[in-house]
Amino acid sequence: MLKVVLATNNLHKIEEIKPLLSKIELLTLKEVGLDVDIPETAETFVQNALLKAKSIFNLCGIPCIADDSGLEITALNNRPGVHSAYYSGSRDNQKNIEKVLQEMQNETNRKARFKTVMVYYDENSFRYFEGITYGIITKEPIGEQGFGYDPIFIPDGYDKTYAQMTLDEKNKISHRGKAIKKLVEFFEQF
């Protein structure tokens, strides 16, 4: 069975992805003896994910999966984008949300999209898989579930935010869920 390492220290992501990938043996950074945090310094999701996957591959020589996600808001020229995690200057979800809502205060165009890019990298190939979910930004935070910008994002076709959905419900329609589905399909051929 092909061994692949997942370039994240986020246990939540590992738990979410692992059960879906039955064709490969998914290893954590810890399991391959790495304690690293690769900075996401690039200007696109693909470049950031590739940067992480390549760095980890170069450190351990095992094929690697890495991801990068964020929120792109049309009226803000696609910000926060790759800067989603630290948009307010810190990794504080509430402060990040406050900054977005403040910038969106007088905007009538509330359109936004969440994007995830998942990259697979080994010595011979590089593939990437994208998941996008379109929606709108609310005027105030609603809901308690999830993380990040979940309380201010209503996916198209719904009348509730990501933060008002169960994890299962969100995974079925989320940007991350869609990218993971494509990755799973890719590994079906292994």
Catalytic residue among 37, 68, 159, 168: 68
* CB-based contact 27:5 (threshold 8 Å): yes
Tell me whether residue 23 or residue 81 sits nearer to ligand IMP (CB atom): 81
Give yes or no for residue 149 binding ligand IMP (CB under 6 A). Answer: yes
Chosen residue from 68, 104, 155, 165 binding ligand IMP by CB under 6 A: 68
Give yes or no for residue 147 binding ligand IMP (CB under 6 A). Answer: yes
Cβ 4 to ligand IMP shortest distance, Å: 18
Comparing CA positions, the residue from 70, 84, 72 lying closest to residue 117 is 70
Dihedrals φ, ψ of 187, to 5°?
-75, -10
Burial 51-62 (b: 16+ CB within 10 A, else e): bbbbbbbebbeb
Give yes or no for residue 46 binding ligand IMP (CB under 6 A). Answer: no
The three-state secondary structure class of 25 is strand
Tell me whether residue 5 or residue 49 sits nearer to ligand IMP (CB atom): 49
Q: How far is Cα 84 from Cα 17, in angstroms, rounded to an integer?
A: 22
Cβ 63 to ligand IMP shortest distance, Å: 20
Residue 68 annotated to the active site: yes
Cβ 91 to ligand IMP shortest distance, Å: 7
Cβ 54 to ligand IMP shortest distance, Å: 16
Give yes or no for residue 72 binding ligand IMP (CB under 6 A). Answer: no
Burial 78-115 (b: 16+ CB within 10 A, else e): ebbbbebeebbeeeebeebbebbeebbeeeeebebbbb
- Interaction with ligand IMP in 83-142: which residues (CB under 6 A)? 84-85, 114
Binding site for ligand IMP (CB under 6 A): 68-71, 84-85, 114, 146-150, 162, 174, 176
